[in-house]
Structure 1
Amino acid sequence: MLSEIASKLTEGVKPTTDAERVFYEALQVLRDYLARSDIEDKLKKLEDIRLVEEEGKTFILIPDVMTYIQASGRTSRMFAGGLTKGLSIVVVDDDHLLKGLIKRSKWIIDDIEWRELKEVDLKSILAEIDRDRLVVKQLREGKIRVEFKDPMKTALMVVESPNKARTIANFFGKPSVRRYDELKVYEVSTGELLLMITASGGHIYDLVTDVGYHGVLLPKDAGTFLPVYSAIRRCLNCGYQFSDDLDKCPKCGSSQLRNALKILDFIRTLCEEVDLVLIGTDPDTEGEKIGWDLAALLTPYAKEVKRIEFHEVTKRAILEALKSTRDFDTNLVEAQIVRRVEDRWIGFELSKRLWSAFKRKGLSAGRVQTPVLGWIIDREREFKESFRNVYSVFLPYGIKLELIEDEVTEKPIIIEQVKAKIRVLDILEEDVHPPPPYTTDTYLHDASRKLGLTAPEAMQIAQDLFELGFITYHRTDSTRVSTFGQYVAKEYLSEKFGNQAEELYLPRNWGEAGAHECIRPTRPMDVNRVRELIAEGIITPIKPLTKKHLLTYDMIFKRFIASQMKPAKVVKQKMEINVLGTSKIVERIIEIKEPGFLTINPILKVEVKVEEGEVKPLKIDVKRKALVTLYTHGDVIKLMKERGIGRPSTYAKIVQTLIQRGYVMETKRKKLLPTKLGKSVYRYLASKYGDLVSEKRTAMLEDIMDQIERGERNYVEVLNKLYREISSIP
């Protein structure tokens, strides 16, 4: 179809279909732009394309990177002993096009490295190529046998998300796909492995409810605390998940259920086909437990099971993970077991009491959600008590002062008679340092404040960006930047600013070495470049990026790149303003001497310099306003981080649970308000079980979980203490 339209365009045939008309209109727009001299000048200045004229016609030459990658890949071949050595030599007749080819190839292949011919030992490379070719020839002639490498080493990688499985598979060419009903497994070659990739869909098992003490056999029955698990069933009608052995959804009664055992059976059959099973669940405590469950269930069917861990979904990270397999960290698994059991015990026990007290099922309580509910209730009370008459005084130079009525000793009767006196106290230079890159809590706070996203919405968008390979793992409390992260920032600045990049780049670790890293982009591509590459088809996300995805990526990208740049030097003006019988100290930035990180992330506002003297107000408004604002999702998550309750994996869920239970409502302006039910539930819990659900107690338990993760506490002893505490609730 496209070739037919192209032929008609060339011949000047009039369009007859809607598709042809779209192409004709696009061609006309393009011709109109190219006819403009300013557009032509801009195209000529671009470093990665070339504008040329031949025989009176203008051509735009753009490097075809996909064809180059395909062609250069043909210099190497897979054979029984692995891969033959290949060599690609690019003969350069245009520096602009070479720059474009190098730049575009790096967008597709993270670790590609280009070298000038004089920098390599061409003789030894050709000798290695000849040796490989000789081996292939002798193999074909039957003169030698390959004994140094197993040509059929196979592995199965199990990840949580189908999107992630597909993204990883696409790193290694076009995968073949096998289907079992709605389940899929992708098959690719990494050069070292014949790799199958599939998804578990997250948790396979959860605690049952009808055995032992809320799903846990006690020492008197089993000799120790023994959690009892069953496969998770998900209702296809209402989405409710449960682990009890039921044929119908306990919530809506539907018999349309999806049993996780079906997924497990599929994965077990795949295990029998491979030499090695690799569990690639998320790199956190919850992911370790999901992976450990999978390993326990798959081990009888597999020759070998190993854990792999990656913090970004890129080809480079996946290949590194494949080379760095490990055993499961039982400390992390035990900490997650304690967390889940404790959630179950305290939740079930307090919920039963709520149902009885309020004669209403569906109410719930928990160690984290209860103190958070208390914060929201306290904040609403402070909000209501903070209303005052506030004088908003608008002065020249864009100055706005807000004065509480109690501060105003000279009430304005006629605005023309009011005067404000400005006295400049100081003009000083300051260094303003960039904020660190995002962690989960700071990301959610800004996503709420800047983009108006709820916490669950922001986490889902970040999950998508992670699984599609655009950002690193988003559930993290670390600001650490890896060496590769610093390389991403340096590459971007070098491409954008050329030789000036050295004046802007200042690498920072932002934290001690450890397993986790900050939230950052995986490649040196800003949001405009991402849009461009998607439009050109150079990168093809398996899930479409929405406006919210792009805005979120832009926010993460700018914050990270700025964190690797030099401070800004600004000039501040400090002044005292006397008006309506009171004085206020005001500081304003009046000049940016060296923009530093503000070049990328302009978070500061520059205002005009104020002249000392007497001025008349432009306007004075008096309104009744609250001096304390209601909390947003982001505010609550920031508090959770500061006060040491909750986890990166649970921050977003807590407020959402409170809303779903009817304890909290969200206003049109994204503010959180407690409901009458929420206040009643909190009063009941705080008065009767305050020691169990207090903020202090919750923070202490979080610390105990951390100790278990570090191997400093025995998890059985912790469970025993928790059981004695919870089972004694009156």
Structure 2
Amino acid sequence: MANLVIVESPAKANTIKGYLGSNYKVIASKGHIRDLPKSTLGIDVDNNFEPHYINIRGKGDVIKELKKEAKTASKIFLATDPDREGEAISWHIASQLGIPADKACRITFNEITQSAVKESIKNPRRINEDLVNSQQARRILDRLVGFKLSEVLWKNVKSGLSGGRVQSVATRIVTEREEEIRAFVPQEYWTVEATLATEDGENVEARFFGSGKGKQKLSSKEEAEAVEAKISSGEFKVSYVKHAVKYKQPAPPFTTSTLQQEASKQLGFQSQRIMKVAQELYDGLNLGAQYGGVQGLITYMRTDSTRVSTVAQDAAREYIIENYGEELLPKTKRSYKSAAASQDAHEAIRPSSVSLHPRLVRKMLTSEQYRLYKLIWERFIASQMEAAELDTVSATLENSGYTFKMGGYVVKSKGYLTIYDNSDEKIADTEGDEINLVRLPNIKKNQTLKVVSIRKQQHFTEPPARYTEASLIKFLEENGIGRPSTYAPIISIIISREYVKRDGKSLVATPLGEITTKFMKEHFPEIVDYEFTASMEDKLDSIEQSENTIVGVLSEFYEKFERDLEAALSIDKKTEVVIPAEESDVICDKCGAKMVYKNGRFGKFLACPNYPECKSTKAIDKNGNVAENSAPAPIYADFKCEICGGDMVVRNGRYGTFYACANFPSCTFTKQKVSDTGVACPKCSSKVVARHGKGRMLFYSCERYPECDYSSWDMPLPEKCPDCGAMLYYRKSRKSVICKEKSCSYKRDEEMTVIE
């Protein structure tokens, strides 16, 4: 009998399957199999908050398959993700399969590589009840708050609204920034800069700092002109010069939060997309036989730790010596201190193998996978390199009682900047003033400099910037609100529920978000309080450390929450919700009014504001422009047309779903929607994908088909035939794995999940 290994995703299953051989069967649960019911609370508050779990709709076949395979398995290994969510999935699976609580069936690995997986098989452990309890407490608390708050918001604000423990705080953060921006009053100020000439004929730049009384702000044109008038006829004398060497240290390897922030800033990815691509890199991709076949490229991507294993440090140091030289290697290994609130359960996010340079695997990855992997690889290698050495100079100059300052730096030794530059970091001189990368001026104390030109410029102070996904995630992390795995879902939820909208990269509170936040601050101040939310996260973490119990944490919270609920539900008058419609510049064909934007089941559309007297509507595209027809709002792909560069949209045809250029009929480019199998094409090493042909018939072919003519009715597998080394296939009609080589008769009976 074979051993059974259960993971969450089919992609992860396909990767691990190739490592363990024919004595192991690897199947996927496809995420959670049990959860609280959607339509009811599902929690018995009066019975110590006992949850009532049910099988998730649509998971019946998965559970049936798990039970069937478990009956004939020699051993069962639960290999779900190495965090509290993964632990809970394993706990639910174990309860369904009747695995005793004291059975050593749980295996975890921080990276999906052959050595890591095989090592975990040797060291199974019991399911960690504390981790499970911590996840359950979060799930129960989120259900209590979400379910009960939604009831209050429906009654007192507007039907269809929903609240949440962390999403309400995130909405408040964005809303209050909007209030700050509206309340902001710009203040005028002026700057004066001088171009000066040294005795050697070299021009240098100096900026006004103040007078003998210290730093001074020029608030008007008159003040700036007064400075200009006095210094234009005089000479500048250098009163102070400071030369110094500064060291710019590399940033630590990524945590979930810093990865989301940097990928958002540098790559322009949204947080949900970042985590999806990172999951793909972790689960495993087919790199071809040359680079080890199917394997995970990065370590687990949900972590708040900057810790790195000694093995990974040694591998990085060896790589640096071989490829960049000893001069870029620090004398001692670099270690980084994790944040105080870090659980430190996992390593930082790093490449599974530093030898897999991004350029080596580029052809095997999608553009997004490559760019994110490159960012992670470079950040990790840089984190183990020598600091950059900078030569800096700062100087103070005097003229007619006014003080000017100047400074600059040059890179003496690039150090880690050789491969990774976190260039948004500011450089300051020894006095704390910001300086720029310039050629160092050759000046000395008591030297006299002549005025070449003077420039004065008007400025106005600017309001605080709106949050972007990156800056909101940074705020959440710094204030202990939420945890690494929740940042991306939080942002997705507040946008999808229209409390917040995107404006380019900025996040803007909607009128609905502002009204809901105002109601929450009045009636549920603790729920939207930053410190309270952070302390609740700490209490939930304490359950994981056996320092608290589910009942203890939930009881303490619910006592006050229940009183607030009763008070809010007793309010007679409903909050007056007046959400002004967003006006367009499109004129209604029927009555001449300016049409407004509305939301329907297919997205935004234009409607006449005089409804119901006038029922005129118009379809719009994703840019808000009037569409030529009234079809439902299209679903846009995340890539551009290969012919004209236009948007690609999802269409449904007689042979299934496909992508088409939005500029049709002027551009007729189409592309079939396919699923990656994780297997390399045996003819050209590109990806093998699942396609649907005429009559929705499923087949597998090279992604370059028909340019490459490889195709198969049977699903290709990443594992090789144990008899002849050829590619193996899964034949669904016979529920068997077969070798198609004419000279080989290898075959085994096995039921697998088909990639469609």
- Name the TM-score, length of structure 1 as normaliser: 0.65
Measured in 1, the distance between the counterparts of 2:119 and 2:316 equals 21
Q: CA deviation at 1:430?
A: 1.9
In the superposition, relative to structure 1, how do residues 717 and 394 fare at CA in structure 2: closer, same or farther (>3 Å)? same
1:310 to 98, 109, 119: 109
Q: Which residue in 2 is equivalent to 1:145?
A: none
Residue matched to 1:183? none
1:607 matched to 2:442? The reply is no
CA spacing shift, 1:674–1:585, aligned 2, 3 Å: farther
Structure 1: how far apart are the matches of 2:549 and 2:96?
A: 25
1:228 corresponding residue in structure 2: 52
Which of the residues 2, 5, 26 maps onto 1:197?
A: 26
Asked if the contact 1:493/1:501 (under 8 Å) is kept, the reply is: no
Q: CA deviation at 1:405?
A: 6.0
Identity of aligned residues (%): 32
Query: What is the 5 A alignment of 1:124-523?
Result: 154-171=2-19, 188-189=21-22, 194-209=23-38, 214-219=41-46, 223-233=47-57, 259-299=58-98, 306-361=105-160, 363-384=161-182, 385=184, 387-389=186-188, 391=190, 406=219, 410-412=223-225, 423=238, 425-468=241-284, 469-497=296-324, 500=326, 503-504=329-330, 506-511=332-337, 515-523=345-353
Aligned to 1:531: 359
Q: Is the 8 A contact 1:387 1:625 kept in 2?
A: yes
Deviation at 1:325, TM superposition (A): 0.7
Shift in Å, 1:478: 0.5
Query: Which has the larger displacement, 441-450 or 295-304?
Result: 295-304
Separation in 1, partners of 2:180, 2:204: 31
Q: Does the 8 A contact of 2:190 with 2:220 survive in 1?
A: no
Q: For the Cα contact (< 8 Å) 2:306–2:348, is it kept in 1?
A: yes
- Kindly state the Cα deviation for residue 637 of structure 1 after the two structures are TM-superposed: 0.9
Work out the CA distance in 2 between the residues paired with 1:386 and 1:488.
54
C-alpha change, 1:353 and 1:315, in structure 2 (3 Å) is same
Conservation of the 8 A alpha-carbon contact between 1:306 and 1:325: yes
Describe how 1:676-687 pairs up with structure 2 within 5 A.
676-687=511-522
CA contact (8 A) 1:411 1:580 kept: no
Contact 1:157 1:278 in 2 (8 A): yes
Q: For residue 334 of structure 2, what is the amino acid of its counterpart? A: R
Question: Which amino acid is 1:476 matched to?
Answer: T
Q: Deviations over 1:293-341 (max 9, x none)?
A: 1111122699966111111111121111111111111111111111111
Aligned CA distance change for structure 1 residues 578 and 231 (closer, same or farther; 3 Å): farther
Instruction: Rate the CA distance shift 1:394–1:721 in 2: closer, same or farther, 3 A.
Output: same
Distance 1:683 1:576, change over 3 A: farther
* Aligned mates of 1:336, 1:390 — CA distance in 2: 53
**Native 8 Å contact 1:288 1:333 kept in 2:** yes
Q: 1:724 to 1:431 in 2, by over 3 A?
A: same
Q: Distance in 1 between matches of 2:500 and 2:25?
A: 45
State the distance in 1 between where 2:27 and 2:546 align: 32
Cα offset, 1:724, TM superposition:
2.6
466, 473, 482: which is aligned to 1:637? 473
In the aligned structure 1, how far is the partner of 2:411 from the partner of 2:158?
Answer: 64
Determine if contact 1:506/1:566 at 8 Å carries over to the other structure. Answer: no
Is contact 1:569–1:595 with CA below 8 Å preserved after alignment? Answer: yes
Structure with bigger strand share is: 2
- Give the AA of the match of 1:169: K
- 2:525 maps to which residue? 690
Q: Which has the higher helix share?
A: 1
The alpha-carbon deviation at position 492 of structure 1 amounts to: 2.0
The answer to whether the Cα contact below 8 Å between 2:190 and 2:224 also exists between their aligned partners in 1 is no
1:691 is paired with a residue whose SS is coil
- Aligned-pair distance for 1:398? 9.3
Tell me the distance in 2 between the aligned counterparts of 1:447 and 1:505: 30
**Partners of 2:91 and 2:507 in 1: CA distance:** 38
Query: Shift of the alpha carbon at 1:289?
Result: 0.8
**Structure 1 residues 712 and 505 mapped into 2: Cα distance closer, same or farther (>3 Å)?**
same
1:598 Cα deviation after fit: 2.2
2:671 is aligned with 1:671: no
TM-superposed CA distance for 1:710, in Å, is 0.2
Correspondences of 1:707-726 after superposition (within 5 Å):
707-726=542-561
Q: CA deviation at 1:279?
A: 0.9
What amino acid does structure 2 have at the position aligned with 1:206? D
CA RMSD of aligned residues (A): 3.3
3-state secondary structure, aligned to 2:134: helix
Cα contact 2:188–2:220 (8 A) shared by 1: no
Alpha carbons of 1:698 and 1:597: their partners in 2 closer, same or farther (altered >3 Å)? same
TM norm structure 2: 0.62
Query: Aligned with 2:98: secondary structure?
Result: helix
Find the residue that maps to 1:574 and give its secondary structure.
strand
| 1:439–1:518 CA contact under 8 A, matched in 2 | yes
Secondary structure of the 1:431 match is strand
- Cα 1:394–1:304 change in 2 (3 A) is same
Q: Which residue of 1 aligns with 2:385?
A: 565
Alpha-carbon shift at residue 196 of structure 1 (Å): 1.0
> Residues 274, 596 of structure 1: CA spacing in aligned structure 2 closer, same or farther, 3 A cutoff?
same
Deviations 1:328-359 (A, max 9, x none): 11111111111111101111111111111223
Q: In the TM superposition, what whole-angstrom CA distance separates every residue of 1:503-534 from its partner, at most 9, and x where no partner exists?
A: 456422324895311011111146xx433345
Unpaired runs of 5+ residues, structure 2, are 196-202, 210-216, 285-295, 424-435, 444-448, 568-756
Q: Deviations over 1:377-409 (max 9, x none)?
A: 222233341534465767668969799763776
Aligned length, in residue pairs: 515
